[in-house]
Amino acid sequence: MGDTGGSIQREDLMHHNHHTPTTAKTTMMRELLHSRSLGFLMEAHNGLSARIVEDVGFPGIWASGFSISTALGVRDSNEVSAGEVLDTVAYMADATRIPIMVDGDTGYGNFNNARRFVRQLCRLGVAGVCIEDKLFPKTNSFIGDRQPLADTDEFRGKIAACKDSQTDDDFCVIARVEALVSGFSLAEALGRAEAYRQAGADAVFIHSKRKDGKEVLAFAREWGRRSPLVITPTTYHRSVGVDTFERAGVSTLIWANQNMRASMRAMREVSEEVFKKRRVSDVEQDLVPVQEVFDFLDYGELDDASRRYLPADPAPASRRDAS
């Protein structure tokens, strides 16, 4: 998986999407959302996982709040601050050339917190943010029932504030509707989605924790492609095929937490094996070789840059100090 192979994959991906390496990430995200074919975002939670998502060929990244929180060892209940999320996303954006949609939870407060968060994301070169219509501090959608929702008019104002504050015209603000996952009716979900669309949301994210996917498909049929529709089939991925979602008018599908969950299992299995056996020889064959890490993160570029920018025969530190 050396750097050469990764570079070829990234160039093929850009050619496939008709983009040049200088195409703005925001433009790439907007085109992905508005494509008539189903697009996919893969979860990442740090710079390494983001680079892997890009390297395997995904056209975009979902910076999951749940996964970032988990990787930092805390709960997905706004225990991670906006600043800590921005620090993490900065590494992800710097490490990749594909667009990132950031899970912005509820916007970390009212409209003022949310619009400041958007301005900071724009400075980092992030392509979009998803804001959900729940109360701050949020609770993960899969915990409990009938979680309270934000007032519709208040959330409309939050969406409008985010759109008014973006510094890139193609930056995307996605309104996540939590009505279905919180146990409210389809009519409530549709009414909220339309209100957010009229407030300026570039896309609507409809969420559900039912395992059959039927209420998501019902929403998609009623929504009728009024604006791009985003889903994450965490609980209903076995029940409905991606082709069905595409035919129903879904624009973008997010695989929301699989990389974090995979890494958690792998780290536990390795740690348990080493702890029990008191040696690493039994697990080494299942691990990525250290040289592959060096190749993937392009340590060779640093060597080349050192030869280009450092003096060929630098003076010893003692001589420099003496002068």
CB burial class (10 A; 0-12, 13-18, 19+) of residue 155?
Answer: buried
Helix (H, G, I), strand (E, B) or coil at 211: coil
Catalytic residue among 3, 12, 76, 298: 76
Helix (H, G, I), strand (E, B) or coil at 315: coil
CA angle 99, 67, 240 (to 5 degrees): 75
Nearest by Cα to 176 from 132, 219, 208: 132
Active site residue 76: yes
Q: Which residues contact 135 (CB under 8 A, 6 or more apart)?
A: 106, 148, 149, 150
Nearest by Cα to 98 from 6, 29, 48, 168: 29
Give buried/exposed letters for 250-259 (b at 16+ CB in 10 A, else e).
bbbbbbbbeb
* Dihedrals phi, psi of 288, to nearest 5 degrees: -65, 130
Q: Look-up: residue for tokens 């015209």?
A: 169
CB burial class (10 A; 0-12, 13-18, 19+) of residue 288?
Answer: exposed
CB burial class (10 A; 0-12, 13-18, 19+) of residue 92?
Answer: buried
What is the set of active-site residues?
76
